[in-house]
Amino acid sequence: MSAREKYWLKVWDEKHAFEPDPVAGKKKVFVTFPFPYMNAAVHVGTAFTASHLEFYSRFKRLQGFNVLFPWAWHWTGQPIVGMSKRLREGDPVVRRTFIELDHVPEKEVAKFVEPEYLASYYTKQSRQVMKETGFSIDWRREFRTIDPAFRKFVEWQYFHLRDLGYVVQGTHPVVWCPFDKSPTGDHDRMEGEGVSPAEFNLIKFHLGEFALVAATLRPETIYGATNVWVNPDADYTEARVDGELWVVSSTSLSRLSEQKHDVVPVREFKGSELLGRYAIAPLTGKSLPILPGKFVDPSLATGVVYSVPAHAPYDLMALRDIQEGRVQVGRQVKEIADEIAPVPILTLPGYSKVPADDVVRKLNIKDSMDPNLEAATQGLYSAEFHKGVLTQASGPLAGLTVAEAKDKSLVLMAKTERLSKMFELPEKVVCRCGTRCYVKILENQWFLNYSNPEWKAKARLIIDRAAMFPEEARQMFYSTIEWLNDWPCARRSGMGTRLPWDKDWLVETLSDSTIYMAYYCISKFVNMEKIGPDNLTSDVLDYVLLGKGNPASIAKAAKTTERVLRDLRTEFTYWYPVDLRNSGKDLIPNHLTFFAFHHAALFPEKYWPLGFGINGMITIEGKRMSKTKGNFVSWEDAKKKYGADAFRLALALTADGMDDADWRDRAAMDAKEKVESLMPFVRKTLRSASNREENELDSWLISTVNGRIVAATAAMEELRMRRASATIFLDIWNDLRHYLRRAEKPRRQTLTEVFSAWVRMISPFTPFMAEDLNHELGGKGLICQADWPSPRDFPVDEEAVLGEAVLGKVIEDARNVLRVVKGKRSRLNVYVSSDSARSYFFEMASAKRKKENVGAVVKKYAQLKIQPDRVFKLAFEIGDDRLTKLLAHRGFNEFKALSGASGFMSAELGIPVVVQKAGSKTINDPANRAKDALPTKPAFYLE
């Protein structure tokens, strides 16, 4: 960190510049960021998202608002604990992450076996780097989500949600790790990402007094069943399940019992024992032989399936394996199998009667072990589902589509009690701990009832009313609200707050972070030790957050003072609602929408959030950021490498709206150079300035700055930081360059005015440099407490703007001519249009505009010999806006503007330029070109 940075940090700190308290009558802005999770230090992605709030905060402060930008740290949940645990178990990958990627000293890593130490280390480091980057955060309100006082706040929230009926209990299938004794989410899996429980139909085939229970996802194919498959090598069990006698694979018993089936095993035997026996199918009543199928996985559902060779490639190939002797079976079984022919049950356009045969041929599949069978199955199932129609062979299902037949077959089988259900994972899932997962039905789980239509409606209302930056994000919120179902809001493990009425459960991490912005109003008092966790009773929080109850008696009961309670209430009612919450777009489908839901549930409308800012995700040099791939830039690395100001500016210039931001070293280095050269540029410019009268060029610069202020202000208001910072750093800089090139002598007064505005405009982005520059320019006080420039102080002089625009166009045209015309040239004559040509043009243009007949005008100026279509063409080229301005400023003296710049033109074009006015008597016009001149379009003659 540089000495200057240290100095200004100290000054801001001493002045308490970013520690706002309620000020009655002063308008406020309350901005928040979704706290970062502390299993790692903050990175450039965090910085990018947070920087929007930082720039916005500083901007709003300059606009005179009382701005609160607080910060906190998320410790709740599984990953911190998980990393600690893996470290304790000696996992080398975790250790390497800490040491090589996060640069944590060995000595510290040793202590990371304690999860809270791990989190506190990263918290400390993150806080430090954020401070050094100059983030204007009120650190007095900082907290962690496991702080005792915060826990009281979460408990309060959950009591209320339960009372309101938004927390409900339910039963639900989950992917379960028997070792961790916990649901295994996508991110916790070694294998099987994206796999979720599917509901299998269990179809009972009568086998004497038993039911041989086959599992299927395609019950509508029952009429095409030709046999039943069991794995001859696997163990099967006769068991009493829910009071019935079932035959299923032995391994399925434990899973059935996890799914609330009542299971009592009776006798275990090998699958081969079943071969050659017959089982009676439901609906069809057909007696089907039981055949050996090695492809049958005993650990998938019941380990029994029925065979539909006409429509299932696996079944077809398994059957042929036996028929064609590729699989050795007993003679009796072989004879049975030889008798079996596929039974088609549906028609599929573009396929033969036996579609399974078509696909098998097409993919050149040889036997039932062929790896292409999976793809064949997928393809055929999907085709049949969308285009298949059941035939007469399917009896009552005839004429139905597959989807319809599926439903009807299930209804029919349920009627005859030949149907049961079981959840199963369609693919293998392995937990990070290495244990194979299965489906468990969890009972009495706690859910947030997001499916509740009234709650949804209220959440939608928040989105309807809130400001949204960018606007496109709004639709994503609406879709999320529609799609959101009940959310399990409690877990068994990790850090966090216990459900106050059911201490076996911890409030899940996303669910404890929905209204915590309100807690920033309380944490200030907790950190100042004006109130402690023990004082934060339900009644106290009811009073502070909802205004309920009598503060005097509540204070007494809670062993605190009425004064403190009233201050807390004032704090809350002053800052709330949240004016702006900014985050990456990845949080829309969960956190941000939860945030809306919970505010809708707990607070009156006047405290509902008012604004959402959404930005894209960050990539590094065009690639997704990933620690394991080494494609990772920490906040600290970036800040150290480029310096605080340049890092901030680079963040601002990266992206706008929901576009993904690409972090490039090259661009950041560029920003660094800009930042470093700004001060020398200002110094040099001022040294070259003199005191003189204001001229047209000064008016032009002032007018231009007016437009820049308007544009930058609008962009800041909409959180378009790239546009704002580009206007401020690139456009204004270019304007100044143009001014300096044009001006023979830059005017000190003009420059001072522009620099004064400029330094304030750059300050949200590069606050350290802005303070330095302000100091350099002799500004008093702190720039972070100055006023945002007003366009009113930079009046627009339309004629000066016109003059500069015409000059630019003339130079461009002249360059074109000079480029194209070869040969000797000694000077360029520029003929500004005559007064009569001018009048002609204006009269024509306004007549056309008023849709009047132009004939009279043409006649009136006939002696000028200017073709009317030239006039229209020029009017068209000039464009509506500028034409309006020209018509409004007929006094604009084009000759004066251009002749005043003849020296400049000569220098720019590298050839002497002589500006003359057409129609004057002394004009030098050997080629008779002057008559062609029109307003803003002078004629040229190259000598």
Partner RNA sequence: GCGGGGGUCGCCCAGCCUGGUCAACGGCGCGAGGCUUAGGACCUCGUCCCUCAGGGGUUCGUGGGUUCGAAUCCCACCCCCCGCACCA
For RNA, the binding residues in 178-237 under the rule CB under 7 A are: 182-188, 194, 196
| Residue closer to RNA (CB basis): 1 or 217 | 217
445 binds RNA (CB under 7 A): yes
Residue 167 CB, nearest approach to RNA (Å): 13
Contact 798, 750 (CB under 8 A): no
Region of 112-120, 177-185, 297-305, 530-538 interacting with RNA (CB under 7 A)? 177-185
| Residue closer to RNA (CB basis): 139 or 478 | 478
Residue 305 CB, nearest approach to RNA (Å): 26
932 binds RNA (CB under 7 A): yes
Kindly identify the residues of this chain, within the stretch 361-420, that bind RNA according to CB under 7 A: none
| Residue closer to RNA (CB basis): 678 or 770 | 678
Quote the DSSP letter at residue 399.
Answer: T
- 697 burial type by CB count under 10 A (0-12 exposed, 13-18 middle, 19+ buried): buried
Kindly identify the residues of this chain, within the stretch 663-682, that bind RNA according to CB under 7 A: 666-667, 670, 673, 677
Kindly identify the residues of this chain, within the stretch 450-469, that bind RNA according to CB under 7 A: 450
| Residue closer to RNA (CB basis): 25 or 823 | 823
**Exposure string for 823-835, b = 16+ CB within 10 A, e = fewer:** eeeeebbbbbbbe
Residue 850 CB, nearest approach to RNA (Å): 17
Kindly identify the residues of this chain, within the stretch 17-56, that bind RNA according to CB under 7 A: 37, 39
Task: Kindly determine how many residues on this chain lie close enough to bind RNA according to the rule CB under 7 A.
Answer: 89
Kindly identify the residues of this chain, within the stretch 689-728, that bind RNA according to CB under 7 A: 726
Region of 21-29, 118-126, 172-180, 542-550 interacting with RNA (CB under 7 A)? 172-180
| Residue closer to RNA (CB basis): 13 or 877 | 877
* Angle 266-268-271 from CA coordinates, rounded to 5°: 135
Q: Is the peptide bond before 470 cis (omega within 30 degrees of 0)?
A: yes
What is the SS3 assignment for 217? coil
613 binds RNA (CB under 7 A): no
Residue 39 CB, nearest approach to RNA (Å): 7
SS (H, E, C) 687-751: HCCECCCCCHHHHHHHHHHHHHHHHHHHHHHCCCHHHHHHHHHHHHHHHHHHHHHHCCCCEHHHH
Per-residue contact flags (x/-) with RNA for residues 899 to 918, judged by CB under 7 A: ---------x----------
Contact 535, 572 (CB under 8 A): no
* Torsion angle of C-alpha atoms 921, 927, 931, 935, degrees rounded to 10: -100
User: Given candidates 232, 494, 500, 643, which one binds RNA under the rule CB under 7 A?
Assistant: 494
Residue 921 CB, nearest approach to RNA (Å): 22
| Residue closer to RNA (CB basis): 416 or 816 | 816
Residue 50 CB, nearest approach to RNA (Å): 15
Per-residue contact flags (x/-) with RNA for residues 557 to 586, judged by CB under 7 A: ----------------------------xx
154 binds RNA (CB under 7 A): no
Kindly identify the residues of this chain, within the stretch 471-490, that bind RNA according to CB under 7 A: 472, 475-476, 479, 483-488
Sign of the CA dihedral with 95 first, then 98, 103, and 106 last = negative
851 binds RNA (CB under 7 A): no
Region of 111-119, 237-245, 393-401, 926-934 interacting with RNA (CB under 7 A)? 926-934
Bridge-based pairing of strands 502-507 and 278-280 is: unpaired
Q: Given the structure tokens 């999320």, which residue do they identify?
A: 480
Quote the DSSP letter at residue 281.
Answer: P
Q: Please state, as a whole number, how many other Cβ atoms lie within 10 Å of the Cβ of residue 228.
A: 25
Residue 540 CB, nearest approach to RNA (Å): 28
Q: In whole angstroms, how far apart are CA 808 and each of 730, 795, 802, 805, 905?
A: 19, 22, 10, 5, 9
Residue 335 CB, nearest approach to RNA (Å): 44
- 460 burial type by CB count under 10 A (0-12 exposed, 13-18 middle, 19+ buried): middle
User: Given candidates 737, 745, 849, 870, which one binds RNA under the rule CB under 7 A?
Assistant: 737
Residue 623 CB, nearest approach to RNA (Å): 10
Residue 68 CB, nearest approach to RNA (Å): 24
Residue 79 CB, nearest approach to RNA (Å): 5
Contact 207, 244 (CB under 8 A): no
Residue 772 CB, nearest approach to RNA (Å): 19
502 binds RNA (CB under 7 A): no
* Torsion angle of C-alpha atoms 891, 897, 898, 902, degrees rounded to 10: 160
Please give the biggest Cα pair distance in the chain.
124
Kindly identify the residues of this chain, within the stretch 865-884, that bind RNA according to CB under 7 A: 876-882
Kindly identify the residues of this chain, within the stretch 807-846, that bind RNA according to CB under 7 A: 810, 813, 815-817, 819-823
Amino acid identity for residue 446 in this structure: W
500 binds RNA (CB under 7 A): no
Q: What span, in angstroms and rounded, lies between the C-alpha atoms of 317 and 727?
A: 69
Sign of the CA dihedral with 122 first, then 124, 125, and 130 last = positive
Cα-to-chain-centroid distance, residue 351: 45
Kindly identify the residues of this chain, within the stretch 51-90, that bind RNA according to CB under 7 A: 74, 76-79
Backbone φ, ψ for residue 637 (5° rounding): -60, -45
